[in-house]
Structure 1
Amino acid sequence: MCSRPMWWSPMPSFRQRLWPASLLGRLSLVMVAGLLLTQLVASYIWASQLRAKAQVEVQSASQYVAHGASGAIRFFRSLPANYRQLLIQQLREMGGTRFFVNFNHAYVPVHSIEATPLADSALQSVAATLKSDLPHSPPSHLAFAWPDQLVVSEDGVRLNDLPDAWVQHILLLKPDPAPILVIQTEIEPGNWLYMAALMPNPYFLSSNDPLAWDRLALQGLSLAVVLLLCLLVVRWITRPLAALSEAAAAFGQGQDDKTLPLPETGSREFINTARAFSAMRERIQRYIEDRERLFISISHDLRTPITRLKLRSELLDDEALRNEFEEDLDELDMMVKGALQCVKDSDIHENPAEVKLDAMLGRLVRSARLAGHEVAYQDTGLSVRAKPLALKRAIGNLLDNALYYGKRAEISVTSADGMVAIAVRDHGPGVPEDALASLFDPYVRLAHGREQNDGGMGLGLGIARSVIEAHGGQLQLSNHPQGGLYAVIRLPA
């Protein structure tokens, strides 16, 4: 057998597997991919603009806070040391100022929030502004911290341990805490000024985040709604096309039901197409019926004058002339019988059913073996949906050809890619490559065929191909590498 059957096709590439075969799948994929790409590009542009705007706002807000902090540092530095705590106590009782202020004897370590580009930019802007406003002061220690982790004094007192009156008008502790800017600077040796404040927009880190969950949820919801509407529209558009495709396939396989006309729904273009298809189907059906009636009538009517001519030829006295007449009449009678057989075999009216190939081919093989032929076949358990009698005649024609011209035949059945392949190989001399295409033509017989089967008419292969194509399949012929003709029928599984 061939190492690679002629119906074999290479595995589809990854791109071919990804690209749907149906119009619905292709339109859906294109629209979904286009929407996703548009959404991603728009989101990227919007996020870039949002980040740029947030950067400008943070820079301005940081400078505003830094100017206030530098003024506070200058004010406390100008006070005598023994007045500072008294003033701080008075500010706390009054409800505080913009800053929560405390004095310590050393720097208090701060547990900073997770570093972000926006927070780092704010700290850099505050540091630059403080250095510009207080050029002769030592560098300040800056950090953003969460309220529940913030220590405000050297003895470990946390912000949450302080009375609410001290901080409730200055910092946001609940219900949604905001990051706190902490500024620590040394006023004089051994005295550290501790200031904590909120940014003008306390939630600047989250409000300017393009990937915040609420924004992503809103974008995702809007995208899902648009995609759903697009899929519904695509399905609404392609559903009539699917009906048209099914009607065309059924008509091509002889399964057309006139009681179920193609529905004229959908767009104006499809309605016009449906009407044109229905009219074409009726014209073709009438043509086929008229052709069959005409063909059968002519073939039938020709047999009567042929019979009369045969009887009259018997009255001829010249034996040589009588023999020539009889030979011509026999050839004409054979052509008429062949025409009738062609119409009968290629137009079998029966309903499609599930055909178990082992049972059908087994009967053909047993009949051939009883006639003294050698046929090899192994059961496969495969089946196809087809017209049983028509399929049997098509395979029978191929097997008869194989046994006439090859003496020995092999039948094999395989399944791949949703198709069932029935291969019939003979062990004869094969066929010239340039003559393969003409084997399906009626009354075409090669010299080897005429020698092996002088009673044939050259209609078997054409009938077989017509039957297989009516089932939506293919019949292909080739020469086997090890000799003989190789015929392959491919049918939908």
Structure 2
Amino acid sequence: MREHLRGRLRRLWPASLLGRLTLVMVAGLLVTQLVANAIWAGQLRSKAQVEAQSAAQYVAHSASAAIRFYRSLPLSYRVLTIQQMREMGGTRFFVQLNHAYVPVKEVAPHPLADSVKATLSATLKSDLPHSPVARLAFAWPDELAVSEDVRLGDLPDAWVQHILLVKPEPAPILVIQTELEPGNWLYMAALMPNPYFLSGNDPWAWDRLALQGLSLAAVLLLCLLVVRWITRPLAALSDAAAAFGQGEHAPPLPETGSREFINTARAFSAMRERIQRYIEDRERLFISISHDLRTPITRLKLRSELLDDEVLRNDFEEDLDELDMMVKGALQCVKDSDIHENPAEIKLDTLLGRLVRSARMAGHEVGFEESGLSVRAKPLALKRAIGNLLDNALYYGKRAEISTRADIGSVSIAVRDHGPGVPEDALASLFDPYMRLEHGREQNDNGMGLGLGIARGVIEAHGGQLILENHPEGGLHATIRLPA
């Protein structure tokens, strides 16, 4: 399970530097924002709790004073007093007298509202210890009933406009109902000192989240631009290194950007020039040495013919033939691995078809089916690499098969022979120069053991792979994988 989780995390982890920096910066910003919001929300809730409790005590003291006042009035005076206060503009409370408790549809449950009601109830009980327990509720204005058959919206505006907030943005209304005498209920409605205390201190309100989201998006956009600006020169450096590794001519890297990249670009350009000079010097040296050695080898062969001792003459000729083969091999290795040509779009059916026709004209049996695939490569170099593999298959296996297929991100060219195969412990050494197995020496005594090494060098110069393995049904199976 743990390994499976690690595998999924590795697949989700971006491969590019741009993706990794972007993911780290985005994750860091999100975590920082969430932690800061959580801390701020905790502080805001704590502050709102303290303020709401203080406001609840203040409202409760005012309500207890109003309850004592109306309880002290005769019943007939209560209605007259309420009417006079309404005509004068009202007091802190909207007051109504009812004959029974009026059911109130409360707002959605909210921890702060519950805390305020608990503080109000405790304070009223403390101020009015001998009075019946008051019933408390918070309700929205449009759903608030003030008597059995009258709603708040049915009342004249003059009665409530200076006491309650009904429009344009309604605020939750505190309703206190208590029984003065049996059959007489005092109904009081008021606003808290902070009318919007339930929503004003909400850290997750949509307007605050929208503002934070816009701020986060702006920061992320700037971070992405900076990361892209930093990594773009690295992508140019990677492309230049890949082009140089495949033998292509790439323009000099621009010396722009940060100081570190400018120094890297200069170091890469200097390294590329040194390597190019080294390759050219090595090529000239090998060609010169190989060419110069052919003349004395030829003279020594002619002089060996003048030896009277036949045994000695045969030994001389055998050593000279071996030396001549080594010189030819060195010259061929340099020429075949350093092919200076431009990459082009190659239709594999055409290229492989020519090789197959030439082999069949020479009397060999080669199986091949067209696939319609194409690759971008150096035509002569790729033909030489595939030709070496096909020659080996025909020399050592008598019969060969060539097939192509398209994989994810690559194109595979497989050459299989029907020979005896290769021992598993010898597969890794087949690419070594002059490496020839006993079966190979018997089948082709003129070979030099350079074909596979040359083929692998050509394929790797194209950014591909050459894989050798024994086929399950017998014979050697060589697979070339090139970028699609």
Normalising by structure 2, report the TM-score: 0.95
Q: Name the structure 1 match of 2:355.
A: 364
Cα deviation, residue 202, structure 1: 0.1
Q: Could you say which residue in structure 2 is the equivalent of 1:151?
A: 145
- Distance across 1 between alignment mates of 2:71 and 2:427: 107
CA distance in 1: counterparts of 2:229 and 2:172, whole angstroms: 52
CA distance, structure 2, for counterparts of residue 392 and residue 48 of structure 1: 72
Residue identity opposite 2:258 in structure 1: S
2:17 to 23, 32, 36: 23
Aligned to 1:351, the other structure's residue is in SS state coil
Shift of 1:106: 1.4
Alignment of 1:20-419 (within 5 A): 20-154=14-148, 156-257=149-250, 260-419=251-410
SS of equivalent to 2:430: helix
Q: Distance in 1 between matches of 2:217 and 2:108?
A: 33
Residue 462 (structure 1) aligned to one of 445, 449, 453 = 453
How far apart in 2 are the matches of 1:309 and 1:54?
106
- Aligned counterpart, 1:424: 415
Residue in 2 aligned with 1:4? Answer: none
Matched residue of 1:436: which SS? Answer: helix
State how far apart, in whole Å, the 1-side matches of 2:472 and 2:75 are: 108
How many angstroms apart in 1 are the aligned matches of 2:54 and 2:446? 103
CA distance in 2, matches of 1:199, 1:354: 79
Partner amino acid, structure 2, of 1:311: L
Residue identity opposite 2:185 in structure 1: W
**Aligned partners of 2:42 and 2:472: how far apart in 1?**
66
SS state at 1:193 partner: strand
Distance 2:200 2:414 in 1: 70
Q: Comparing both chains, which one has the higher relative contact order based on Cα–Cα distances under 8 Å and sequence gaps of 6 or more?
A: 1
1:103-138 Cα distance to aligned partner (Å, 9 max, x none): 011122222222222222222222222222222222
Deviation of 1:247 (Å): 0.8
1:442-457 alignment to 2 at 5 Å? 442-457=433-448
Q: 2:403 & 2:55 partners in 1: Cα distance?
A: 83
- SS at 2:100's partner residue? coil
Q: Offset at 1:323? A: 3.3
Distance (Å, rounded) in 1 between the aligned partners of 2:303 and 2:431: 37
**Alpha-carbon offset, residue 462 of structure 1:** 0.6
Distance in 1, Cα, partners of 2:398 & 2:239: 42
Q: Deviations over 1:155-175 (max 9, x none)?
A: x22222222221111111111
Aligned length: 480
* 1:95 positional shift: 1.0
**C-alpha offsets along residues 433-483 of structure 1, whole Å, 9 cap, x if unaligned?**
222222111111111110111010000011011101111111122223332
Counting aligned pairs with the same residue, the percent is 83
**Please, which moves more after superposition, 447-456 or 472-481?**
472-481
CA distance, structure 1, for counterparts of residue 366 and residue 129 of structure 2: 106
Paired amino acid for 2:384: R
* d(CA) in 1 for partners of 2:65, 2:356: 107
Aligned-pair CA distance for 1:386: 0.8
Q: How much does 1:48 deviate?
A: 1.6
- What's the CA shift string for 1:26-57, capped at 9, x where partnerless? 11111111111111111111112211221221
| Amino acid in the other structure paired with 1:409 | A
| Structure 2 residue identity aligned to 1:467 | V
**More displaced 10-residue stretch of structure 1: 362-371 or 58-67:** 362-371
Task: Give the secondary structure class of the aligned counterpart of 1:440.
Answer: coil
Measured in 1, the distance between the counterparts of 2:116 and 2:367 equals: 86
**1:190 is matched by which residue type in structure 2?**
G
What is the alpha-carbon distance in structure 2 between the residues aligned to residue 198 and residue 207 of structure 1? 14
- Secondary structure at the counterpart of residue 390 of structure 2: helix
**Deviation at residue 369 of structure 1 after TM alignment:** 2.4
Show CA shifts across 1:82-105 (max 9, x none).
100110011111111100001011
TM superposition shift of 1:150: 1.5
Deviations 1:8-31 (A, max 9, x none): xx9x94323311111111111111
What is the DSSP-based 3-state SS (H/G/I as helix, E as strand, rest coil) of the residue aligned with 1:174?
coil
- The Cα shift of 1:409 comes to 2.1
Encode CA deviations 1:277-325: one digit per residue, 9 max, x unaligned.
1111100000100111111111111112222222333333444433333
Q: How far, CA to CA, are the matches of 1:231 and 1:213 in structure 2?
A: 26
- CA deviation profile, 1:388-439 (whole Å, cap 9, x unmatched): 1101111111111112112222323233331222222222222222222221
Alpha-carbon distance between aligned partners in 1 of 2:7 and 2:390, rounded to the nearest angstrom: 36
1:486 CA drift (Å): 2.2
Aligned equivalents of 2:276, 2:420: Cα separation in 1: 42
Partner Cα separation in structure 1 for residue 245 and residue 337 of structure 2: 13
- Equivalent residue of 1:187, what SS? strand
- Quick one: distance in 1 between partners of 2:10 and 2:350? 37
For residue 374 of structure 1, report the CA deviation from its aligned partner: 2.5
Q: Which amino acid aligns with 2:446?
A: G
Distance in 2, Cα, partners of 1:291 & 1:28: 44
Structure 2 residue 471 is the aligned partner of structure 1 residue 480: yes
- Judge which range, 194-203 or 110-119, deviates more: 110-119
